[in-house]
Amino acid sequence: MALIVQKYGGTSVANVECIKNVAQRVKQTWDMGTKVIVVVSARSGVTNELIGRAKELNPRPDSREMDLLMSVGEQETIALLSMALHALGVPATSRTGAQAGILTDDTHMRARIHSISGGDIVDQLDEGKVVIVAGFQGVSINGQVTTFGRGGSDLTAIALAGALKADSCQILTDVDGVYTADPRIVSDAKKIEEINYEEMLELASSGFKVMQSRAVEFAQKYSIPFEVRSSFNQKPGTIVKEETPMLEGIMVTGVALDRNQTRLTVTELPDKPGTAAEIFNILAENDIIVDMIVQNIGRGGVANISFTVSRDDADRAELGIRKHFSDRTGDDFVSQTEIAKLSVVGVGMRSQPGAAAKMFDSLAQANVNILMISTSEIKISAAIEPGQADDAVRALHDEFNLNQ
């Protein structure tokens, strides 16, 4: 009998009605004679409510206590979903992360999975029960509740699918799958049937919101295939796996756009070794991830550094830098510019040169000004002005024949 792992996110279980819908959908799968493990997140909003209460009591709450606090969100949904399945006549039983034997290290709030025993899940499945597992959480070797950070429920689903050798792992979400570009921008964007881990990772870090990199990395490391599909319809989604057919001439798989980026520019820094390191140390200390970086030498032996960060981190980054260089008080010493990051991703770039040339030609023809560039082996990203982003996406989608 086939074993399937299904993961439903917070918006899919937001309230009693949503939970009933998920129960119906799980029942459909179970009715087909499949063994089913369901991984669920907290009801959307609950985690933020809990964090809000915690911050009112303590602006810097202890991470161990935060984990204990946040894990209640998923514990609530697993029990409720189990009851909803019972009401439909489906035998079901719920398991917390600890009960599912999801053992982690003790890095609270971003714990790493050590091993998954599964607890009694296999027995419960053999008895014909649907097993519902709390996403996002585990237990450390010394018995403490741990959580995995953002995207943690995807990680739970993928890791469980790997540990229990599931035949399929479905990440059910509010989109039909992974598209060649955002269908809201590009009307003839196509759903990608299969994509490999590397491309999925590059898309995840390029503004593709459906999954966090972490879960994809885990899937890649242990070669666990999964499928991103809609929780609202029964259409096949996008399979993410190790090897996908290499089609001759396909250089680019998708175009991604991240509108939530800010470029910071720090001007007139002394052009001496270590200046860049100082700045990026400040950012690292503040847990701020930097994406594109450009350094250039200005007049008179001074340097300018520009880099992009997530817009949510921009003010914190600026503040940290101003504090560090407290003798520099000029307004224009640090400046922010909102940008959009445009990326083309494709493993085909490895074997076929010319993707960058094609991309920049296409953007030039569309009169799109490129502010910064960064590349990886299978990705080229360009920072552009936000107002030109939609046109740029459409131009690249056409240029690389992604509608075919």
Contact between 292 and 372 under an 8 Å Cβ cutoff? The reply is: yes
Pick the closer one to a copy of itself by CB: 20 or 191. Answer: 20
Tokens representing residue 201 in the block: 């990772």
Pick the closer one to a copy of itself by CB: 66 or 163. Answer: 66
State yes or no: residue 12 binds a copy of itself (CB under 8 A): no
Tokens representing residue 148 in the block: 């995995």
DSSP structural state of residue 391: H
DSSP structural state of residue 385: -
Closest distance between a copy of itself and the C-beta of residue 79, in Å? 4
Site for a copy of itself in 77-106 (CB under 8 A): 78-80, 82-84, 86-87, 93-94, 96, 99
State yes or no: residue 61 binds a copy of itself (CB under 8 A): yes
Contact between 170 and 6 under an 8 Å Cβ cutoff? The reply is: yes
Pick the closer one to a copy of itself by CB: 56 or 287. Answer: 56
Rounded distance between C-alpha atoms, residue 48 and residue 52, angstroms = 6
In sequence order, the 6+-apart residues with CB closer than 8 A to the CB of 213 are: 151, 201, 204, 205
Tokens representing residue 44 in the block: 């959307």
H/E run at residue 85: helix 63-87
State yes or no: residue 284 binds a copy of itself (CB under 8 A): no
Map tokens 């996406």 to a residue: 393
Pick the closer one to a copy of itself by CB: 1 or 57. Answer: 57
Contact between 50 and 66 under an 8 Å Cβ cutoff? The reply is: no
Rounded distance between C-alpha atoms, residue 278 and residue 346, angstroms = 34
State yes or no: residue 137 binds a copy of itself (CB under 8 A): no
Pick the closer one to a copy of itself by CB: 54 or 185. Answer: 54
Pick the closer one to a copy of itself by CB: 79 or 250. Answer: 79
Closest distance between a copy of itself and the C-beta of residue 95, in Å? 9
Contacts with a copy of itself, 20-59, as mask; x by CB under 8 A: x--x--------------------------x--xx-xxxx
Closest distance between a copy of itself and the C-beta of residue 60, in Å? 8
Site for a copy of itself in 109-128 (CB under 8 A): 119
State yes or no: residue 319 binds a copy of itself (CB under 8 A): no
State yes or no: residue 75 binds a copy of itself (CB under 8 A): yes
Part of the chain binding a copy of itself (CB under 8 A), chosen from 62-70, 197-205, 258-266, 339-347: 62-70
Rounded distance between C-alpha atoms, residue 216 and residue 201, angstroms = 6
Rounded distance between C-alpha atoms, residue 57 and residue 65, angstroms = 12
**CA nearest to 108, candidates 68, 76, 74:** 68
State yes or no: residue 64 binds a copy of itself (CB under 8 A): yes
Map tokens 């107002």 to a residue: 387
Pick the closer one to a copy of itself by CB: 19 or 178. Answer: 19
3-state secondary structure of 170: strand
Rounded distance between C-alpha atoms, residue 3 and residue 10, angstroms = 23
Q: Which of 1, 33, 89, 143 binds a copy of itself (CB under 8 A)?
A: 143
State yes or no: residue 388 binds a copy of itself (CB under 8 A): no
Return the number of other C-beta atoms located less than 10 Å from residue 247's C-beta. 9
State yes or no: residue 62 binds a copy of itself (CB under 8 A): yes
Strands (E), 158-289: 168-173, 194-196, 226-230, 238-241, 254-270
Closest distance between a copy of itself and the C-beta of residue 69, in Å? 4
Side chain identity at 279, as an amino acid letter?
A: I
State yes or no: residue 76 binds a copy of itself (CB under 8 A): yes
Question: Residues interacting with a copy of itself, by CB under 8 A?
Answer: 16, 19-20, 23, 50, 53-54, 56-59, 61-62, 64-66, 68-69, 71-72, 75-76, 78-80, 82-84, 86-87, 93-94, 96, 99, 119, 143, 145
